[in-house]
Amino acid sequence: MVYEFEGRTEKEAIDRATETLGLEKDDFDVEILETRRSGLFIKGYVKIKVHTNELVSAHPHEAEEPDEQGEAEEKKKGVADMTDKTPERKRLPAVPLDTNSVEQRMITFLEGLIERMGYSGAVSVMFREERKIGFKIDSDFSPILIGKKGKNLDALQLIANIYAGRMGREDLRIILDAENYRIRREETLVRLAYTVADRVRENRNSVLLEPMNPFDRRLIHTTLNDISDVETKSEGDGLYKQVRVYYRGGRG
């Protein structure tokens, strides 16, 4: 299910989502659609899209592609001050893997999938959290399994989450990593965001970044959220959208 929420800050928008949907923050993925810093005569504004497999009782402005009239009506509603109701994330204790456990079945599935791709690799549990399990892949073919810009790794992660759903665990989110790629990718994107922001501020124009998955786009948005004269916005359709970074005085 897909929902959209707005707030003066990202935190406020996410808080509104957790309260309205009756879910915890870890129960859904957040994609930032638009962000605008507050100023002397301008109110801060953040618009997010929430993706979740959880069943909820409320269905606020649900749509994959909302029309312009719906967006305008939502902006007129405004948002109320909210307190942080996101519970502290709990680490689950490490436990031995049972052969019939979800973790062991996932490991067997992933290792078999990699083998059917023509490669070899060992999969192990990287971390355990409530409704989230991380797995790491150790392989001599990690660069291939990761792929360009992590697209192969993203594809494997998507398949793993589909398999978890077929095991009856739609509530469980699977994270895959190899050679600490996701950490290294995050560091690279943060550096890119600041470099592009400097260029935009100097030239008073806009820069359109390469297509990125929702996680990478969110990282760009949040990294630049505190720079007062720079704004970001996602553009395009589908999973891999582009982020435009533009000078606050004009969109270039």
Domains in the chain, start-ordered, CATH in brackets? Answer: 1-87 (no CATH), 102-179 (3.30.300.20), 180-252 (3.30.1370.50)
pLDDT per residue as tens digits for the range 133-192? 999 999 999 999 999 888 899 999 999 999 999 999 989 999 999 999 988 888 999 999
**Rounded Cα gap, residues 216 and 219, in angstroms:** 5
Whole-Å CA distances, 44 to 12, 34, 36: 11, 11, 5
Question: What confidence score (pLDDT) does residue 129 get?
Answer: 87
Whole-Å CA distances, 213 to 97, 117, 126, 136, 151: 32, 23, 22, 20, 9
β strands within 45-147, DSSP E: 45-51, 122-129, 132-138
Residue 36 scores a pLDDT above 90: no
Q: How confident is the model at residue 114 (pLDDT cuts 50, 70, 90)?
A: very high
More confident residue, 227 or 68: 227
Residue 56 scores a pLDDT above 80: no
Q: Rounded mean pLDDT of the chain?
A: 78
% pLDDT > 70, the chain: 74
Output the CA angle 27-131-175, nearest 5 degrees: 95
**Rounded Cα gap, residues 131 and 173, in angstroms:** 6
Instruction: Choose from 15-24, 55-64, 234-243 the range with maximum mean pLDDT.
Output: 234-243
Average pLDDT over residues 92-113: 74
Residue 230 scores a pLDDT above 80: yes
Q: How confident is the model at residue 78 (pLDDT cuts 50, 70, 90)?
A: very low
Question: What confidence score (pLDDT) does residue 33 get?
Answer: 74
**Rounded Cα gap, residues 126 and 136, in angstroms:** 6
Residue 106 scores a pLDDT above 90: yes
% pLDDT > 90, the chain: 41
Average pLDDT over residues 190-205: 92
| Nearest by Cα to 139 from 110, 99, 159, 96 | 110
